[in-house]
Structure 1
Amino acid sequence: MYNTLPHKRYRHTLDFLKKVLPAPATILDLGVRNPFSEIMEQNGYIVYNTLGEDLDLVPEIVKKHTIDAVTAFEIFEHLVSPFNVLNAIESKKIIATVPLNLWFSKAYRSKIDMWDRHYHEFEDWQFDWLFEKSGWNIKKKAKWTSPIDKIGFRPILRKFTPRYYAIYAEK
């Protein structure tokens, strides 16, 4: 199963999750059900997802379930104010990942889907500060690259420059 995960980021995310929150555990995964929700379930987690609500407008949705932790895998970069969601979470644990701001690549913006855009692409210190300011204590961090199999200057930089940043924090 592990070696057949479709993306390097899935392998790294699952490894990070297992280290900081071993299964079995009940998780509220922010965002609609997705392939990684299924991967978490296949690895012993009980997963609830939000249903596509605009978390900027209804951050209180994070209080709906009794859970062990909240996960937010590549969600906060889509929000205008991730602080409000982080502040509303009552769970004592959170595991989150974001794409890092890369100096050689602009923020992602889908031309087709108005919701599939990055309002923020954080630097690691900004993401840390967001958590600390909203009352979380960061316990563990990790970064990994996201190389792509193309030729060019940016693909070479992606082999060495971390693209994803993960945080485990507690209240």
Structure 2
Amino acid sequence: MYENTFPNKRFQLTLAFLKKHIDTQESILDLGVENPFSKIMLAEGFKVTNTSGEDLDQDQSVFKKQAANVVTAFEIFEHLLNPYTILKEIQSEKLFISIPLRLWFSPAYRSKTDAWDRHYHEFEDWQLDWLLEKTGWKIIDRQQWTNPVKKIGIRPLLRLFTNRYYIVYAERK
């Protein structure tokens, strides 16, 4: 399907998970600026609006301005300082979040060239589950998957069988 789109495994699994739970008629507010996956959702017929790059840690007004049935947050919560407040402010009834899981054999990600591209949080699955529960969300479904890389070494070997991504579908309690 999206064979030439990096990272195709993650995109295919995320799309399948999304299609499993909602149809294309539901409006989606995707947290973060337009990105390769929001373009895939649009191409698949979903009604997607992205946030405009505002700092969601400082300004959650988008949730009052943009009415949507569903909020998606694909690989964004690890970049936020205060996901608790954001989860409390979301007005939608349905939520999809995917995160990279914390890897015991690798330090937290931090770009050397982009000040915003760093992981403040690298969650374990139970931590995201607890955060969702405390902010009024009920987990309906979840899935994890690995992210093998085509390199040689101990870390690439560990990535073959260590789950790297976690996706959750939750609804307001």
**Separation (CA, whole Å) in 1 of partners of 2:96 and 2:122:** 17
The letter for the 2-side match of 1:138 is I
Report deviation, 1:166. Answer: 0.3
Q: Gaps (5+ residues) in structure 1?
A: none
Could you tell me how far apart the structure 2 residues matched to 1:103 and 1:37 are?
30
Are 1:88 and 2:86 matched, yes or no? no
Q: 1:63 — aligned with what? A: 64
**TM-aligned CA deviation for residue 24 of structure 1:** 2.5
Aligned equivalents of 2:52, 2:134: Cα separation in 1: 27
Aligned runs of 1:1-171 on 2, under 5 Å? 1-6=1-6, 7-171=8-172
SS at match of 1:70: strand
Greater than 6 Å deviation, 4+ residue runs: none
Q: CA deviation at 1:69?
A: 0.1
SS in 2 for 1:72: strand
| Cα distance, 1:2 vs structure 2 | 4.6
Identity %: 57
Residue 62 of structure 1 and its aligned partner are, at CA, apart by 2.1
Count of aligned positions: 171
SS in 1 for 2:139: strand
Deviation at 1:20, TM superposition (A): 1.3
Aligned equivalents of 2:122 and 2:19: distance in 1? 25
Task: Provide TM-score, normalisation by structure 1.
Answer: 0.96
Structure 2, gaps ≥5 residues long: none
Distance 2:58 2:98 in 1: 21
